[in-house]
Amino acid sequence: MIDRSFIGRETSSFEAVAERGRLRFFAHAIGEQDPVYSDLDAARAAGHGDLPVPPTFLFGLDVERPDSFAYVGEMGIDLRHVLHGEQSFAYHRVAVAGEPLRFRSRIADLFEKKGGALQFVVREIAVTDGDDAPVADLRTTIVVRDPRAGA
Amino acid sequence: MSSTDTAWTTVDVGSELPPLELPPISRTTLALFAGASGDHNPIHIDLDVAKSAGLPDVFAHGMLSMAYLGRLLTGWAPQQRLRSWSVRFAAITPVHGQPTCRGRVTAIDEVDGERIATVELGVTLADGTLTLAGDARIALA
């Protein structure tokens, strides 16, 4: 069982920028052909100040921090046994390429099912902009399958 | 189809979004997605790591399927209208799995002066396996 004292633990705050080239690479990787996500003129014509950061991309910016999986290790979890359980996003506005974004995250909850064979870690991530105004709120639930518990 | 094609006046409870059918997910797609998304968990790209965890093969990032769902949504409505969404990852997508994304309007409510459509979301594989289920809230014009 994961130590419940981890609930409320905050990870270090982290600043990231979604670069245009990276967003074009992401669009390519997911087969996105809407020019709004790769062409600056199309993005501006659609009302964005720059290439928009697509709906799920903020998740990747957060895990890109150098120690992104550190919290998993600190809890004694083997990354190979981790599955993504749930993911949610709530948006205050659409982020765009080039703007500094700050990520703050905390462990919101820990619980288990099936007698500990499945353990759940819930993280909440708040994304704010350079003016400290809210951009998006993410909630990530990971599931840890403990093979020793005979799931 | 681009989002400008959607006839907003005809959107009603029961309206279905045009399904998004994807090609089978290749190992190349997994490698590109790892690099592009920033999720470098080796379980998705390194067969040795997958086998060391007792798995027969690598499997797709759940967030790849969620990104496909994102395409379904922003192909239907401009991204500025997407208020919030949530998914549950119900089953692993194996490499070579072929996802199809679907959405259906299940409610339209007045929220803070906006007409908000609740869209029920699902991703299924060719064999019918449901891999993602969730819902999105989208402001209608």
pLDDT tens over chain B, length 141 residues: 455 556 777 899 999 999 999 999 999 999 999 999 998 889 999 999 999 989 999 999 999 999 999 999 999 999 999 999 999 999 999 999 999 999 999 999 999 899 999 999 999 999 999 999 999 999 997
- Is B6 a domain residue? no
What pLDDT, on a 0 to 100 scale, did the predictor assign at position A32? 98
| β-sheet bridge partners, residue A7 | none
Cα–Cα dist B133/B89, whole Å: 7
For A10, A106, B39, B135, the CA distances from A74, given in Å and listed in that order, are: 13, 14, 19, 33
What domains are defined for chain A? 4-16+68-149 (3.10.129.10)
Cα–Cα dist A36/A24, whole Å: 10
Q: What is the CATH number of the domain that holds B112?
A: 3.10.129.10
Which residue spans within A58-148 are E strands per DSSP? Answer: 82-91, 100-113, 118-128, 134-145
Q: Show the low-confidence residues of chain A (pLDDT under 70).
A: 1, 67-68, 147-151
CB pairs under 8 A between A and B: 114
| A46, A47, A80: residue with CB nearest B52 | A80
How many independent structural domains does chain B possess?
A: 1
- Is B3 a domain residue? no
For B47, B86, B111, B112, the CA distances from B115, given in Å and listed in that order, are: 47, 19, 6, 8
- Is B1 a domain residue? no
Q: How far is A12 from chain B (nearest CA, A)?
A: 18
Residues of chain B whose beta carbon is less than 8 angstroms from a beta carbon of chain A are 2-3, 22-23, 29, 32-33, 35-41, 43, 49, 52-54, 61-64, 66-68, 70-71, 73-75, 78-80, 82-89, 92
What pLDDT, on a 0 to 100 scale, did the predictor assign at position B1? 45
Place of tokens 């067969």: B47
Place of tokens 């462990």: A107
- The distance from CA A45 to its chain's CA centroid, rounded to whole angstroms, is 28
A48-85: buried (b, 16+ CB within 10 Å) or exposed (e) per residue? bebbbbbbbbbbbbbbbbeebeebbeebebeebbbebb
Q: In this structure, how many other beta carbons lie within 10 angstroms of the beta carbon of residue B110? A: 8
Could you list the residue range(s) of the whole structural domain that residue B57 is in? 11-140
Per CB-CB distance under 8 Å, the chain B contacts of A90 are 83-84
> Considering only CA atoms, which of A124, A113, A119 is closest in space to residue A142?
A119
The answer to whether the beta carbons of residues B79 and A54 sit under 8 Å apart is: yes
> Considering only CA atoms, which of A67, A74, A72 is closest in space to residue A82?
A72
Q: In this structure, how many other beta carbons lie within 10 angstroms of the beta carbon of residue B24? A: 13
